[in-house]
Amino acid sequence: MNRISGLIVALLTIALLVASTSPMAHAEAPLGKWVRDAQKRVVKIYGAGGLKGLEAYQSGFLVSPDGHIATAWSYVLDVNPVVLLDDGRRFESKIVGFEPALELAVLKIDATDTPFFELNEKRSVDWGDPVIAVSNLFNIATGNEPASVMQGTVASTADLNARRGTFKTPYRGQVLVLDLIANNPGAAGGAVIDTDGQLAGMLGKELRDATTGVWLNYAVPADALRTTVGDIIAGRKTTAVDATTKTLPRKDSHNPAALGLVLVPDVLEITPAFVDKVKPDSPASRASLKADDLILLVNGQRVDGQRTLRSLLRTIDRRDDVELTVQRDTDILPVTLQP
């Protein structure tokens, strides 16, 4: 009887030791200082809601001490957005670069000594690991309130391109599939952290399978963002307009009308380059551009408004093709206009 009792005690001791050292034990631990530190690195972003009046807010996180912010590219960034820090400070921001293939944008605010996440070279989580999602989902935090926190696990890692295009996103790399309902309005661009408080990934936009109606909760791994974010901050990769490029005479260059583009009325200080109509039998028509398309890039340079679009077109010979990147609903599409 004593041997049996001793065996039971030994087994219980082993079970407790295993439980205390398992990843889930960390997940069940009280949310500590590292979670509050993560909230200080997450920001609230307010911009435009697109032509269809969608939610005009999302999340982002600081990636440098000089006020650089990584976030998800979306219609919220149709104009240079306003950024609120954890302490309630409000900043006008500028979009310094973005990468359509990653649906990643990098913003810059005029702030110094900001707390920030480091983008590690190696991935810190795998399937089964506990994670925390920190974001401004549902716009709950509108001032100096801390960002919302959700707890869950990484269900799996998978390539979005394996889903045969049923999810509308240009990103075709590997994602962290999350076992928590993290991808809600306002959460895009938020941070996913591991149990050590290190950045594990960036929350993507809401994705719904067009065939089954199933929603996907996911994050783009931090290591997939690292190189691009670093290149944008260092100026090695930029979509900014080159001010030294000379414009051509109007008779020798492109313009929206000649390409078959009718834009929405230019009534704002910076009116986004939304397509209002496409003229039949025009380069824009042949390239299948549609009303409500938003022109993001012209030959790799960012279009922050209609005046920039016209200026960029005037740098391109009317006999040359025009390479556009447009946003159509949640899709980001490359388009070639042939004169």
pLDDT(6) > 80: no
Tell me the average pLDDT across 102-129: 91
Classify 207 as helix, strand or coil. strand
Comparing CA positions, the residue from 75, 104, 105, 107 lying closest to residue 294 is 75
User: What pLDDT is recorded for position 169?
Assistant: 65
The residue ranges of every structural domain in the chain are: 28-234, 250-337
pLDDT(188) > 70: yes
Q: Residue 138 carries which DSSP code?
A: G
Tell me the average pLDDT across 270-296: 92
User: What pLDDT is recorded for position 28?
Assistant: 44
Tell me the average pLDDT across 152-165: 73
pLDDT digits (tens, 9 = 90+) for 21-48: 444 444 444 467 788 999 999 999 998 7
pLDDT digits (tens, 9 = 90+) for 59-105: 999 999 999 999 998 888 877 899 999 999 999 999 898 888 788 99
User: What pLDDT is recorded for position 19?
Assistant: 41
pLDDT(161) > 70: no
pLDDT(199) > 90: yes
| Strongest mean pLDDT among 100-104, 176-180, 208-212, 277-281 | 277-281
User: What pLDDT is recorded for position 71?
Assistant: 96
Question: Does this chain's domain 28-234 share its CATH topology with 250-337?
Answer: no
Question: CATH code for 28-234?
Answer: 2.40.10.120
Q: Hey, which residues does 238 pair with through a beta bridge?
A: none
User: What pLDDT is recorded for position 191?
Assistant: 96
How many C-beta atoms lie closer than 10 Å to residue 249's C-beta?
A: 7
User: What pLDDT is recorded for position 171?
Assistant: 67
pLDDT digits (tens, 9 = 90+) for 133-147: 999 999 988 888 899
Residues in the chain: 339
pLDDT(239) > 80: no
Count of helix runs (H) and strand runs (E) in the chain:
7, 20
| CA 61 to each of CA 69, 112, 154, 189: distance values in angstroms, whole numbers, following the listed order | 5, 15, 20, 7
Cα separation, 98 vs 303, in Å, equals: 12
Mean pLDDT of the chain: 83
Range of lowest pLDDT (1-15, 86-100, 278-292) = 1-15
pTM, two decimals, is 0.75
Cα separation, 187 vs 183, in Å, equals: 6
Give the residue with greater pLDDT, 14 vs 331. 331
DSSP character string of 100-123: GGGTEEEEEES--S-------SS-
Give the residue with greater pLDDT, 230 vs 270. 230
Which of 3.30.530.20, 2.30.42.10, 2.60.120.680, 3.30.1180.20 would CATH assign to domain 250-337? 2.30.42.10
Cα separation, 11 vs 5, in Å, equals: 10
